Amino acid sequence: EVQLLESGGGLVLPGGSLRLSCVVSGFTFRSYAMSWVRQAPGKGLEWVSTIGGGGVTFYADSVKGRFTISRDISKNTLYLQMNSLRAEDTAVYYCAKGGGTNYRYFEYWGQGTLVTVSS
Amino acid sequence: QSALTQPASVSGSPGQSITISCTGTSSDVGVYNYVSWYQQHPGKAPKVMIYDVTNRPSGVSNRFSGSKSGNTASLTISGLQAEDEADYYCSSYTSSSTYVFGTGTKVTVL
């Protein structure tokens, strides 16, 4: 059974940093693209970042230069390092496993972790 | 990257069929067959209902179907049921190797 479990969310001051983690199980972690998707309170879904099976990374313009996606294959863990946080980064952050042969959709999702950026 | 355009709300009576549209551009929906649809109930994580425009994951009801024409994709729910009441989002892979989601549609079962 595929499982994704996020952690690391919390309250942080504007300009601060936070690192999110997503521990996965039930599939061969190194073989799949993994992504972070966020949802601001009462708003829609927004793609944040993806790391491909080969380790190539992609970012939304809204977070480029501030967020870094990475993974530790030995720990089956996906990370999102978030720096220079802004109020508009407040959201539930979901990690998601890429699906299909080209990983062009989000097949499994975690339960999410809430990040609140506020003074 | 601008969000894909979806109607804010769609409603129907039990047993009816409804269709949700998702309009993008020639850089996303129009260029790839990588459109997916997600169902989200309040307080829950999204769940994929359709991927690669028309494919249904194992376990998803065959009442859900997808299609695409040009820059617009569509999700049809037939035989509407009370449990289908939720928010629905489309998503597309883009020519910039990124992803874009739709604005979201609230489905109400009357």
Q: Which tens digits make up the pLDDT trace of B34-92?
A: 999 999 999 999 999 999 999 999 999 999 999 999 999 999 999 999 999 999 999 99
Q: How far is B79 from chain A (nearest CA, A)?
A: 25
The torsion defined by the Cα of A14, A114, A22 and B46, in degrees rounded to 10, comes to -130
Report the mean per-residue pLDDT for chain A.
Answer: 96
Give the confidence band of A103 by pLDDT, cuts at 50, 70, 90: confident
pLDDT digits (tens, 9 = 90+) for A5-16: 999 999 999 999
Bridge partner list, A57: A51
Q: What is the pLDDT, as a whole number, of residue B95?
A: 95
| pLDDT reported for residue A54 | 83
Tell me, letter by letter, the H, E, C secondary structure of A62-114.
CCCCCEEEEEEHHHCEEEEEECCCCHHHCEEEEEEEEECCCCCEEEEECCCEE
Q: Do B98 and A109 touch (CB under 8 A)?
A: no
Identify the pLDDT of residue B107. Answer: 98
Average pLDDT, integer, range A90-96: 98
With CB atoms and an 8 Å threshold, state whether A45 touches B46: yes
Q: What is the pLDDT of residue B52?
A: 95
